[in-house]
A and B are shown apart, each in its own frame.
Chain A
Amino acid sequence: MTTALNTLFITVEGTRLNKEGECVVVTIQDEKKAEVPLRHLRSVVCLSRAWLTPELMESCIESGIHVSFFGVTGRFLARVEGVPGGNVLLRRQQFRAADDAARTLELARALVIGKVSNARQFILHARRDAEAAHASELSETAKRLAIHLRTLESVSDLDALRGVEGIAARDYFEAFPALLKKGGAEGFSFEGRNRRPPRDPMNALLSFGYALLLQDCAGALSGVGLDPAVGFLHEERPGRLSLALDLMEEFRAPVVDRLVFSLVNRGQLKPEDFRTEFAGAVLLRDEARKAFLVAYQTAKQAKVRHAFLEQETTWGMAPHLQALLLARTVRGELDAYPPFAMHG
């Protein structure tokens, strides 16, 4: 498995990318800005309109580098991929599992356990250096999440499972204001999750982070030959990457939420880094978006221990490992799906 997880983000309108030798050359307004060896790349993410030469596109497809395109508002448009990985048998097994209520429930249960377990760990971590006034509130949230985890073990149908997930998510987000620190996070607030469009800076950051994470998860699933659109926890809908949404659940808190709070609490992003449209949508300004992308890439390089595989990995590698474990579960080589778990 490739250990280089570098993603090339294109944020400047009209950037040109072409191939010279075994390198991608980035040109902005006729000026050569960067040269990146292809073998160091895992994906190219175009967040503004960019030109890619057909020759570069061909090389990316052949070497398994995902190229994805986002609209100017950050809406995902397309991802270019070559011949699907894995084989049709794995996908058939995935579809059969998705059609089988019992297997779907077990897979969805493991996915939600991963999500809630990591949300709880994130809260516990945050409590350690939270302001004293919030410590007990955060302990209370962690306790409630622990109770939800036990409930998850016994739910007997998907609706009940989704119900517990919803309550856990509500409890979790209710703790968010307590995670914002005075000083650093001056001017930021959180009054619940909103999206499409996000209406405050915190939600704008969360939405942007989740969009990036979703693409990473979709790429990881395609890489092992699973269909990112056929999920277990998330219902299928045309155009929806249900399995990628499933897979990203366990990473929301430890990857995106943690990053968002660290940027805000350390004062690396300020309220003036956002602009509010007349209708109420809140968007990151270009510089802030760039800062977020750099921080996101850096966070992916941080080392973390995989509790089930008992090996060191990075946050960036984790979705790939989980996609692989999911494929192994679908194939029946594992007795259940082991979600990525922060800590023991």
Chain B
Amino acid sequence: MERDTWVTLSALQHLLFCERQAALIHVERIWLEDLLTASGRLLHERVDLPGHDSRRTSRVERAVLLGSDRLRVTGRADLVEYLRDATTPSGWRPYPVEVKHGRRKLLDADRVQLCAQALCLEEMHGVEVPEGAIFSGAQHRRHEVRFDAPLRRLTEESIERMHTLLRTQSVPTAVRAPKCDGCSLEPRCLPQVTAGQKRVRDYLRQRVTVET
């Protein structure tokens, strides 16, 4: 089978928020330009991030291109810290850090995205990456994330699910939910009419059966 589809790290975030949102963005490619614009802006905001600057014990890499051939996932990490570690062949151990703006609690989506970065780093460097961190901009603090077996399983399953959506080019039906209100894609998704409860035929009938 031709295997030329790649899942992007950002798609995982979308997938865990809403499968339809992920499919609208990555299958239908809706609002791609807006997202690119937005991500460019965000990247810009991230220029002056706090980071370790002690060069002997760590080095900081920003906007790091990552990929895994095994999982066919690729993307960019905000920041990867490389920590001195004599037990690894290169002497460095990567430690991914994902930056989130605003003040909010950690979501599975964030953990999965970070874990996917770790899986890529493990494959690229041939070392284990046991943990990373999510940096919350508003709170100005780090939340450490351990890449344990359940998180790794959820991450690999999410990647597989995204592959399936891309391969079958399917867009799941909308499910109206409270989270729709905060979704930037809501005006394009139209969950209130595509969730299936509204019938256009009835609406058309109203248009034609008017008083003569």
Asked if A333 meets B173 with Cβ closer than 8 Å, knowing A1-B188, A62-B33, A87-B29, the reply is yes
Inter-subunit contact A146/B210 (CB<8 Å): yes
Stretch among A49-57, A147-155, A179-187, A227-235 lining the B interface: A147-155
A-side contacts of B209, CB under 8 Å = 149-150
Asked if A87 meets B212 with Cβ closer than 8 Å, knowing A113-B207, A117-B207, A309-B193, the reply is no
Q: Is A64 an interface residue (CB 8 A)?
A: yes
A-side contacts of B173, CB under 8 Å = 333
Q: Is A337 an interface residue (CB 8 A)?
A: yes
Using a CB-CB cutoff of 8 Å, which residues 157-212 of chain B contact chain A?
Answer: 169, 171, 173-174, 187-188, 190, 192-194, 198-201, 203-212
Q: Is A219 an interface residue (CB 8 A)?
A: no
Q: How far is the CB of A143 from chain B (nearest CB, A)?
A: 5
Inter-subunit contact B30/A336 (CB<8 Å): no
Q: Is A90 an interface residue (CB 8 A)?
A: yes
Inter-subunit contact A307/B203 (CB<8 Å): yes
Inter-subunit contact B207/A341 (CB<8 Å): yes
CA distance A86 to B30 in the complex (A): 5
Q: Is B139 an interface residue (CB 8 A)?
A: no
The residue from A1, A90, A150, A338 contacting B204, defined by CB atoms under 8 A apart:
A338
Look across to chain B and name the residue whose beta carbon is closest to the beta carbon of A118: B207
Interface residues on A, range: 35 or more
Inter-subunit contact B212/A308 (CB<8 Å): no
Look across to chain A and name the residue whose beta carbon is closest to the beta carbon of B205: A153
Inter-subunit contact B33/A308 (CB<8 Å): no
Against A, the Cβ 8 Å flags (1 = close, 0 = not) of B14-30 are 00000000000001111
Q: Is A89 an interface residue (CB 8 A)?
A: yes
Q: Is B37 an interface residue (CB 8 A)?
A: yes
Inter-subunit contact A337/B200 (CB<8 Å): yes
Inter-subunit contact A308/B210 (CB<8 Å): no
Inter-subunit contact A89/B169 (CB<8 Å): yes
Inter-subunit contact B203/A308 (CB<8 Å): yes
Using a CB-CB cutoff of 8 Å, which residues 107-125 of chain A contact chain B?
Answer: 110, 113-114, 117, 120
Inter-subunit contact A63/B37 (CB<8 Å): yes
Against A, the Cβ 8 Å flags (1 = close, 0 = not) of B28-41 are 11101110010000
B-side contacts of A64, CB under 8 Å = 33-34
Using a CB-CB cutoff of 8 Å, which residues 193-233 of chain A contact chain B?
Answer: 224-225
Look across to chain A and name the residue whose beta carbon is closest to the beta carbon of B199: A335
Inter-subunit contact B193/A334 (CB<8 Å): yes
Q: How far is the CB of B210 from chain A (nearest CB, A)?
A: 5
Q: How far is the CB of B58 from chain A (nearest CB, A)?
A: 37
Inter-subunit contact A333/B204 (CB<8 Å): no
Inter-subunit contact B30/A85 (CB<8 Å): yes
CA distance A62 to B40 in the complex (A): 13
A-side contacts of B207, CB under 8 Å = 113-114, 117, 149, 339, 341
Q: Is A36 an interface residue (CB 8 A)?
A: no
CA distance A85 to B28 in the complex (A): 9
Q: How far is the CB of A339 from chain B (nearest CB, A)?
A: 7
Asked if A328 meets B194 with Cβ closer than 8 Å, knowing A307-B203, A338-B200, the reply is yes
B-side contacts of A309, CB under 8 Å = 190, 192-193
Against B, the Cβ 8 Å flags (1 = close, 0 = not) of A283-321 are 000000000000000000000000111100000000000
CA distance A108 to B106 in the complex (A): 49
Inter-subunit contact A308/B28 (CB<8 Å): no
The residue from A90, A117, A146, A224 contacting B212, defined by CB atoms under 8 A apart:
A146
Inter-subunit contact B200/A113 (CB<8 Å): no
A-side contacts of B208, CB under 8 Å = 113, 117, 149-150, 152-153
A-side contacts of B210, CB under 8 Å = 117, 120, 146, 149
The residue from A308, A324, A335 contacting B188, defined by CB atoms under 8 A apart:
A324
Inter-subunit contact A308/B193 (CB<8 Å): yes
Q: Is A134 an interface residue (CB 8 A)?
A: no
Q: Is A79 an interface residue (CB 8 A)?
A: no
- The winner among A110, A333, A339, A341 for most chain B CB atoms within 10 A is A333
A-side contacts of B169, CB under 8 Å = 89
Look across to chain B and name the residue whose beta carbon is closest to the beta carbon of A113: B207
Inter-subunit contact A331/B171 (CB<8 Å): yes
Q: How far is the CB of A264 from chain B (nearest CB, A)?
A: 28
A-side contacts of B192, CB under 8 Å = 309-310
A-side contacts of B28, CB under 8 Å = 86-87, 89-90, 225
A-side contacts of B206, CB under 8 Å = 344
Q: How far is the CB of A319 from chain B (nearest CB, A)?
A: 14
Q: How far is the CB of A279 from chain B (nearest CB, A)?
A: 42
Look across to chain B and name the residue whose beta carbon is closest to the beta carbon of A308: B203
Asked if A143 meets B203 with Cβ closer than 8 Å, knowing A87-B29, A333-B194, the reply is no
Q: How far is the CB of A323 from chain B (nearest CB, A)?
A: 11
Q: Apart from A64-B33, A309-B193, A328-B190, what 7 extra A-B contacts exist at CB < 8 Å?
A: A62-B37, A63-B33, A64-B34, A149-B208, A324-B188, A325-B193, A336-B201
The 4 closest A-B pairs by CB, nearest first: A336-B200, A1-B187, A146-B212, A149-B208
